[in-house]
Amino acid sequence: MTMLDLDYKRKVVALKEQKNAVILAHNYQLPEVQDVADFIGDSLALSKNAATTDADVIVFCGVHFMAETASILCPEKKVLIPDLEAGCSLASTINVHELQAWKAEHPDAVVVSYVNTTADVKALSDYCCTSSNAVKVVNSIPRDREVLFLPDLFLGSYVAEVTKRKNMYIWPGECHVHAGIKADDINKMLATFKNADFLVHPECSCTSSAMYHMSKGDLAKTGHILSTEGMMKHARASDAKQFVVATETGILYRMQKENPDKEFIPIKRDAVCKYMKKITLEKVYNSLAHNVYEVKVPKDVADRARLAIDRMLAIS
Is there a domain that residue 256 lies in?
Answer: yes
Is the domain of 218 the same as that of 201? yes
Does residue 23 share a domain with residue 47?
Answer: yes
47 is in an annotated binding site: no
Residue 148 belongs to some domain of the structure: yes
Q: Do residues 241 and 182 both lie within one domain?
A: yes
Q: Which of 149, 175, 201 is the last residue of a domain?
A: 175
Q: Could you tell me if 207 and 131 lie in one domain?
A: no
Query: Is 273 known as a binding-site position?
Result: yes
How many Cα neighbours within 13 Å face the side chain of 152?
34
Residues 167 and 116 both lie in one domain: yes
* Residues 218 and 290 both lie in one domain: no
| Domains contained in the chain, number | 3
Residue 112 labelled as part of a binding site: no
Q: Say yes or no: 224 and 247 in one domain.
A: yes
Euclidean distance between CA atoms 277 and 248, whole angstroms: 11
125 is in an annotated binding site: no
Give the 3-state DSSP-derived string for the chain, with helices as H, strands as E and coil as C.
CCHHHHHHHHHHHHHHHHHCEEEEEECCCCHHHHCCCCEEECHHHHHHHHHHCCCCEEEEECCHHHHHHHHHHCCCCEEECCCCCCCCCCHHHCCHHHHHHHHHHCCCCEEEEECCCCHHHHHCCCEEECCCCHHHHHHCCCCCCCEEEECEHHHHHHHHHHHCCCCEEECCECCCCHHHCCHHHHHHHHHHCCCCEEEECCCCHHHHHHHHHHHHCCCCCCCEECCHHHHHHHHHHCCCCEEEEECCCCHHHHHHHHCCCCEEEECCCCCCCCCHHHCCHHHHHHHHHHCCCECCCCHHHHHHHHHHHHHHHHHC
Is 99 domain-assigned? yes
Q: What was the pLDDT predicted at 96?
A: 97
CATH of the domain at 224: 3.40.50.10800
In tens digits, the chain (316 residues) has pLDDT values of 677 788 999 999 999 999 999 999 998 999 999 999 999 987 777 878 888 899 999 999 999 999 999 999 889 999 999 999 999 989 999 999 999 999 999 999 999 999 899 999 999 999 999 887 899 999 999 999 999 999 998 889 889 988 999 999 999 998 877 666 777 888 899 999 999 999 987 656 567 777 778 888 888 888 888 766 778 889 999 999 999 998 888 889 999 999 999 999 998 888 889 999 999 999 999 999 999 999 999 999 999 999 999 998 888 6
* pLDDT for 203: 56
Q: Say if 308 falls within a structural domain.
A: no
Is 98 marked within a binding site? no
> Do residues 115 and 301 touch, judged by C-beta distance below 8 A?
no
147 in a structural domain: yes
Give the global pTM: 0.88
**In this structure, are 148 and 191 located in the same domain?**
no
User: Do 105 and 58 have their domain in common?
Assistant: no
User: Binding residue per annotation — 201?
Assistant: yes
Q: Which of 143, 160, 175 is the last residue of a domain?
A: 175
For residues 193 and 248, membership in a common domain is answered with yes
Residue 159 lies in a domain: yes
162 with 210, same domain: the answer is: no
Domain that holds residue 70: 3-87+276-296
Residue 43 belongs to some domain of the structure: yes
Question: Binding residue per annotation — 228?
Answer: yes
